[in-house]
Chain A
């Protein structure tokens, strides 16, 4: 029982860290809303959206879902499959570019 207690105490963290992350998430969400508010366009818009998105996702996963304190085996089991998703995204980007190309091509030449 003593050992159980010790382990459980090790998993709780000071309240400050949660409040900090919470505040940061608010600020980042506000920033990403501002991207739309000020109507940024082009590369600036996309890069800002992606930066804020990945920062928010990272903060939620690392601190709210405790991955920062979690054992590496679990972290790796969770994060390596994401490379498969990245591959899938690249494949589908190639696919939609080809679809657009064929559509434009056949609409122009009439088949």
Chain B
């Protein structure tokens, strides 16, 4: 969390700190790790990409005169002789929230220099993410099997397929990339790269547990986007 290059800098909380921060010389966000600031900027740009997808979905769904497929039935599952609406999506939501919780704890234990606990929690997060991607693959193959295509589907408005595959596909890509990085970081944590301040593969930056927080920001963002997709695409 600290940047040793800036000496004699005292952070002020509240609005006076904000004024000092935005009007400061040389750098803004003094004392914030550059990787963390850059991750936030990246997440902001990613927010705009996902917003564009969701807004175009809103526009497409709003302007079609054909009935929109009823998501509750389209994504329902037939279990033990009963039709349960949105069952798979609900399980996916709970799995993603669980993995978000373990990630938040991993960040906490990382800052407390609890290497083992941090590593196990990152691994648990990765497995949660992998479960999520697996269920999404199941959902996709089920819908493709039922005849949903980006240009047509048997349930209603033909735009449904293209928005579904685009939005959940882009989100699933984010989750998959996150899972890959979670496994890498779990290895790096267990190997003690952050305790020994070992430098990374493509950087001269020394290892620090702040990297776990940066990874955590990305993972929570993936969960955050799912909250909006769940509300707008599946429940609406």
- Using a CB–CB cutoff of 8 Å, the interface residues on chain A facing chain B are 3-4, 7-9, 11-13, 15, 18-19, 21-22, 25-26, 29, 32-33, 35-37, 39, 45-46, 49-50, 52-53, 56-57, 60-61, 63-66, 71-74, 76-78, 81-82, 85, 88-89, 92-93, 95-97, 99-100, 103-104, 107
Q: Is the CB of B55 within 8 A of A78?
A: no
Complex CA gap A36/B85 in Å reads 8
Contacts of B59 in A (CB 8 A): 92, 95-96, 99
Contacts of A19 in B (CB 8 A): 101
Q: Is the CB of A29 within 8 A of B97?
A: yes
B interface residues, tally (CB under 8 Å): 58
Interface assignment of B93: CB less than 8 Å from any CB of chain A: yes
Interface assignment of B224: CB less than 8 Å from any CB of chain A: yes
Contacts of B37 in A (CB 8 A): 74
Q: Is the CB of A85 within 8 A of B47?
A: yes
Report the nearest B residue to A3, measured CB to CB: B2
Contacts of A35 in B (CB 8 A): 235
Count A/B pairs, Cβ under 8 Å: 152
Query: Interface residues of A: mostly helix, strand, loop or mixed?
Result: helix
Contacts of B216 in A (CB 8 A): 64-65
Do A12 and B2 contact each other (CB < 8 Å), given the known contacts A22-B97, A71-B29, A103-B65?
no
* Minimal beta-carbon separation of A107 from chain B (angstroms): 7
A-B contact pairs, 17 of them (CB 8 A): A7-B31, A8-B1, A12-B112, A22-B104, A46-B236, A49-B235, A52-B231, A57-B224, A57-B228, A60-B224, A71-B11, A71-B13, A71-B29, A72-B13, A81-B44, A92-B56, A99-B59
Contacts of A71 in B (CB 8 A): 11, 13, 17-18, 21, 29, 32
Q: Is the CB of A100 within 8 A of B65?
A: yes
* Minimal beta-carbon separation of A59 from chain B (angstroms): 10
Do A18 and B11 contact each other (CB < 8 Å), given the known contacts A60-B224, A104-B65?
no
Report the nearest B residue to A55, measured CB to CB: B227
